[in-house]
């Protein structure tokens, strides 16, 4: 009987803790950069440009396909760099 009451009290305390916890009490995301996703996108674009150049040198792409894809990636990179600069408040 005592063990049952202790188990019930423990369960009720756990449920109360879950429902009474406030968002402000939760730990924040320390060190999370607000532009992290943009930096990751920039890194992926640079990697894609390297891969594109490698595949072109291997002869897997025609000159036309290479130039068109390269231009698209460069435009995307320019847009991403502009977004990073804007997110940093014009500091670069």
Assigned token pair, 9: 């009290």
Q: Which residues in the chain come in under a pLDDT of 70?
A: 22-32, 90-92
DSSP string, 55-69: HHHTT-S-HHHHHHH
42 neighbors 36 (Cβ within 8 angstroms): no
pTM for this predicted structure: 0.62
Residue 25: what pLDDT?
Answer: 61
**Model pLDDT, residue 42:** 96
* Helix (H/G/I), strand (E/B), else coil: 42: helix
pLDDT of residue 63: 96
């Amino acid at each position: 009987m005592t063990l049952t009451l202790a188990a019930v009290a423990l369960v009720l305390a756990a449920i109360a803790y879950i429902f009474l916890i406030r968002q402000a009490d939760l730990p924040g995301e320390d060190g999370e950069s607000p532009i992290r996703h943009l930096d990751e996108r920039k890194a992926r674009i640079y990697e894609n440009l390297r891969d594109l150049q490698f595949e072109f040198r291997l002869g897997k792409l025609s000159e036309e396909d290479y130039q068109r894809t390269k231009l698209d990636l460069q435009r995307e990179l320019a847009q991403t760099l502009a977004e990073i600069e804007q997110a940093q408040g014009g500091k670069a």
